[in-house]
Structure 1
Amino acid sequence: MKQALICGVSGQDGAYLAQLLLAKGYKVCGTSRDAQISSFHNLARLGIRDRVQFTSMSLTDFRSVLQVLTKVKPDEIYNLAGQSSVALSFDQPVETLESIATGTLNLLEAIRFMSSPIKFYNASSGECFGDTGDTPADETSPFRPRSPYAVAKAAAFWEVANYREAYGLFACSGILFNHESPLRPTRFVTQKIIAAARRIAGGDMEPLKLGNLAVKRDWGWAPEYVEAMYLMLQQDQPDDFVISTGQSHTLEDFVAKAFAAVGLDWRSHVEIDRTLFRPTDLAGGLGDPSKAKNKLGWQARHQMPDVVKMMV
């Protein structure tokens, strides 16, 4: 029975990944900064909270990381932890950089120190590419990060590549574009939109306030994206992969689909709030998942309209 360690198990991706690995017969241990007081509500929503073991770990403390890896002895480590909001990263840039870049470095160094055949997955982000426009980014596209979050993710990506090349670690990064589900917290704009559409359909007439509706994103379905994470660690050789649908849509399209799903015209219920515009927002985000299809056999089965319906 394989042992998997999921750092960031309480988040959207961590919960769906835990569900997937349990179904495949893994023992799953999840980390949290304080596992004794964490609610792990996403795991509870999926009905798997009692099947996951938990341990406290501070990713920014190398001693804590090494202790947990020594105790758990995982076959696979999935690093999904760290500050995950692009918007929040502008308010908390230092915490964002430390939790993502330093946390990833501590995991890599602990694996190297232990000299164990641990396979390591790192959650990178399509945000690293910056503004892709209508040209899909693949694994050879240059990084042009435009937020503290993207800068941190780019740094972690190159840490993984460096340890793979310098020390022969089985370490890889999944460069995931936007992926959504009902487990998204409402601070993410997609869940904010879905919650508002349902609220207004229920009779609450307070309008939904949003920022730039012209931005375009490549939106997929989160439970499918964790399948790609698992597949990356089942390969003979470690490699990096772009994970996306290969299609982009405007935020206005997302809003329109969400309100239409509850029988409403979004234009009667949405207001533009200039304070919600980010300092450097990306006009477009689009990924090319061809390599994942060819080498992993992975392909997105749901596009943005499907994602909206399932979230509603």
Structure 2
Amino acid sequence: MTRTPVALVTGASGQDGSYLVERLLADGYAVHGLVPPAGAAGTVPGVADLPAEVTAHAADLTDPVGVRALVRDVSPDEVYNLGGLSSVARSWQEPELTARVNGLAVVSLLEAAAETQESTGREVRLVQASSAEIFGEAPIAPQDERTPVRPVSPYGAAKAFAHHCVGVARRRELFAVSCILYNHESPRRPTTFVTRKITSGAARIAREGGTLALGNLDARRDWGWAPDYVDAMVRAARHTEPLDYVVATGEAHSVADFVAAAFSRVGIDDWQAHVRIDPEFVRPADPAVLIGDATRARTELGWSPSVTFDELVGRMVDADVATLERAG
């Protein structure tokens, strides 16, 4: 009898996690989702309830004993670490918490995966959701897997530590990979993120008027469609060898471009009249232009982005407009 593959997903109720568990269920996996206990430090409410088919586990990523026990009990074939503190801005306010959740917790997961593999004699594959923020002040653009790691924020530093630990874990013959994810968005992104703040703001202003407070409009990012990036992580987990991958569109757009596209979707061309700059939202340090070269992912995984920038923004705005209409 063929064994049903088992996957463990941390951050299962977040944007990426929600898309990932849906994908894994469709692939026939038994899916276990790690969600934070109510009120756990560093967490934000999930964007979606887990599907009924997912076995949920309330656990704190910063508890190494609990994490190891969970991995041992679940005995997964694939582990996807999507959990953690996901706000760069918040990492400046809580750098120690960021280090524990986004850095040290990854060590616990890697150790647990290696121990489970050794005790069961069955391969355990782990995918770490890394970030373009590890490159920080990158000397070149676009960046690829060979670009020097030079973070400029507590978030980037914690992710960089975890990224290096994945490489170290491969020395223990653990199939561990880092997917270096550039900015990726969807209607499931919380409104604490600037992209969703923009799209929900555009929908609101088109309906009610008003203004939108933002920070640095000149910051440029490589924005993609979140489900595409989840697909890349799944492909990486099932590849023939453990490699690290930049996952990106290869196109950079400014925050102002994002604002213009969002307001255009709701029929407002003069977006400047509705936006004001608030110093509160300007980060202490912003990375240089972060734009990714996903050649390795294209070549090794057969992956490519499927949604254009304008369509990505449009889908988010349309979802926010529909939400307002349902609310009356």
The amino acid of 1:27's aligned partner reads A
CA distance in 1, matches of 2:39, 2:63: 18
1:217 aligns with 2:221: yes
Paired position in structure 1 for 2:136: 130
Paired position in structure 2 for 1:248: 252
The secondary structure found in structure 2 opposite 1:202 is helix
CA distance in 2, matches of 1:187, 1:39: 10
Mapping for residues 25-104 of structure 1, pairs under 5 Å = 25-34=28-37, 42-44=47-49, 49-104=51-106
Structure 1: gaps of 5 or more residues: none
The secondary structure found in structure 1 opposite 2:70 is helix
The amino acid of 1:206's aligned partner reads G
The secondary structure found in structure 2 opposite 1:113 is helix
CA distance in 2, matches of 1:189, 1:112: 37
Which of 6, 9, 14 aligns to 2:9? It is 6
In structure 2, the CA distance between the partners of 1:62 and 1:179, relative to structure 1 (3 Å rule), is same
Paired position in structure 2 for 1:227: 231
Which of 238, 258, 274 aligns to 2:242? It is 238
Paired position in structure 1 for 2:322: none
Give the conservation status (yes or no) of the 8 Å contact 2:138–2:148: no
Give the conservation status (yes or no) of the 8 Å contact 1:40–1:49: no
Paired position in structure 1 for 2:161: 155
Paired position in structure 2 for 1:178: 183
In structure 2, the CA distance between the partners of 1:40 and 1:216, relative to structure 1 (3 Å rule), is closer
The secondary structure found in structure 2 opposite 1:50 is coil
1:18-44: CA deviations, max 9, x gaps? Answer: 111111111111012227999985344
The amino acid of 1:156's aligned partner reads A
- Percentage of pairs with the same residue: 44
Which of 140, 143, 152 aligns to 2:146? It is 140
Moved over 3 A (4+): 35-44, 131-134
Paired position in structure 1 for 2:211: 207
1:226-246: CA deviations, max 9, x gaps? Answer: 000000011111110000000
The secondary structure found in structure 2 opposite 1:174 is strand
Give the conservation status (yes or no) of the 8 Å contact 1:132–1:286: no
- The alpha carbon displacement at 1:134 in A equals 7.0
The secondary structure found in structure 1 opposite 2:37 is coil
Paired position in structure 2 for 1:301: 306
The secondary structure found in structure 2 opposite 1:138 is coil
Aligned pairs, how many? 307
- The alpha carbon displacement at 1:275 in A equals 2.3
Give the TM-score normalised by the residue count of structure 2.
0.90
Mapping for residues 103-114 of structure 1, pairs under 5 Å = 103-114=105-116
Which of 267, 282, 286 aligns to 1:263? It is 267
1:18 aligns with 2:24: no
- The alpha carbon displacement at 1:58 in A equals 1.8
In structure 2, the CA distance between the partners of 1:189 and 1:159, relative to structure 1 (3 Å rule), is same
Give the TM-score normalised by the residue count of structure 1.
0.94
Aligned Cα root-mean-square deviation (Å): 1.8
Structure 2: gaps of 5 or more residues: 318-328
- The alpha carbon displacement at 1:72 in A equals 0.9
